[in-house]
Amino acid sequence: MKTSGSPTTGAQSVERALALLKLVSGRNRNGARLADLVELSQLQKPTVHRLLQQLVASGLLMQSPDKRYHLGQFSYELGLAASHHFTVRDISEPYLERIAQETGDSAFLVVRSGSDSFCVDRKTGSYPIKVFSVETGHRQPLGVGGGGLALLSALPDDEIETVLLANADRLSSYGGLTVQALRTLIRATRERGYSVISDYAIPGVTGVGRALVDGRGRVLGAISVSSVSQRMDPERQRLVQQILKREIAGLHAALPRAG
């Protein structure tokens, strides 16, 4: 019986298509151009174009009149279906809201998605200068923001190395971040128990974060607070992390009841 391709070729095509889908997801607000995706994926242009057309045909992507690619209707439907099984966001919501209201700043809940962090919720406080460094649905390399750095630092060493290797070529797009600089940030995060990172996601913005771990020791995600760096001096960083520590402790206690 004839086949259209070997299992290896088929698996490789799926892997490449999913990688392109993630790249578009990370830029879905403004969309991604074909040239951007070719550069970021390091694949040949005909391959990228073919895979993108297949993703469009399946409804996972759509193409706007300006030729930029965005997530499609089927991606939205998948997200709605998956949300019924993803309880961390629902359980975390009141805690995230309290953190935003008490600090006055933007609070974020991020989870891991492969070598990326993915924002599943954001709450804003009353401070007049809003920091929207990360929107709900945004993804970026693990370690770039306050939540992503806290999450990455809480992983086992071998998983950290896998993530650093996967993201090595992507980090420079975030304020010139390097693997070595990220290693230093991870060590500092582990020593103090919470993350502090400035200027890499957005210049002039500082994030403070703590990992969210369940009763079995599994890293479920992280919660962070971001504000303009002028406001987030060392004294305020300590205050914010204390608020995070208190609310996450309450959240930890609530997680087992979610089943």
pLDDT at 225 > cutoff 70: yes
Angstrom distance (rounded) from CA 100 to CA 85: 25
Give 86-258's CATH code, choosing from 3.30.450.40, 3.40.50.150, 3.40.50.2300, 3.40.50.970.
Answer: 3.30.450.40
pLDDT at 128 > cutoff 80: no
Output b/e per residue, 27-62; b: 16+ Cβ within 10 A: bbeebbeeebbbebbebeeeebeebbeebeeeebbb
pLDDT (0 to 100) of residue 194: 97
Tokens of 175: 């304020």
The conformational region for residue 97 under phi > 0 = left, psi -120 to 50 = alpha, else beta, is: alpha
pLDDT at 117 > cutoff 60: yes
Mean pLDDT score, 136-146: 89
CA distances from 198 to 8, 174, 228, 232 (A): 42, 11, 9, 10
Question: pTM of the entire structure?
Answer: 0.71
Strand 205-213, strand 139-141: pairing: unpaired
The CATH code of domain 7-79 reads 1.10.10.10
What residue spans define the domains of the chain? Answer: 7-79, 86-258
pLDDT (0 to 100) of residue 23: 83
pLDDT at 18 > cutoff 90: no
